[in-house]
Structure 1
Amino acid sequence: MKKLIIICLTLCFSFSSIAQTDFKEEGIRDLTTVAGLGLGGAILGLSTLSFVEEPSDHLKNILVGASVGIVIGVGVVAYNQAQKSQATIQQTSIKNFDTRSRLNWHAINTAKDIKKFNSVNPKVGWTFNF
């Protein structure tokens, strides 16, 4: 048991010495968001116990509230990451790359790929007669 504790502490200290990066800070912020909303949901679930006659029969409200809070937290983090990705795409050097432009670009490249595929791969047909 003592060796396991020493190994865990060594790993914790070795990973904590990694330089603070933007990625690490974002991860901590996202984890804090999910945990905070989970805690808020648990508190809301706990507050519902004062409205029932037997609070011990409804302790699952705390877990349900925490679960809903965690789900909402994950949704908020996913939405923030999606918005960050969209902002990153808009900051690239490609100007006016809206939905219509992207669809045209994909259509042109798909047509080129189909032509290349058809020229390299001969068409083989099968016929069956009974």
Structure 2
Amino acid sequence: MEAPHRPTPPAPPVEHKGMRCGAPTEPRELDDHDKALFEEFRDIIEQKLREQFDIPKDYKIEPTQVQAQAVAGSNYYFHARLPNNKFAHVRVFKPLKGHALEASDRSTRVHVEKETHDD
């Protein structure tokens, strides 16, 4: 007697842990590379955040998380804590190797979202 045919269960979905082109990664803690990138642009980041938000001069802006997105280079979305216990999103663009921008273009690589959010 032949056993009845049972359909094969579907395979579990594949989790992509790395960066996918066009899709930002999940928020994560900063590694040394992320911290170095934030520090490289700290002067511009702080200037742009202070232009949009009421931030005391003595307040040190710190990133708490980061997301990355592969584009024609990489976008890094930093979650920066503000003094009112809200967060702003700061995007820093890092071009592909060999496509360095002029020093005068540093400011155009940083974009600050006007909206804030709670933790």
Identify the TM-score tier after normalising by the shorter chain. Answer: under 0.3
More strand by share: 2
Structure number with higher helix proportion? 1
Larger Rg: 1
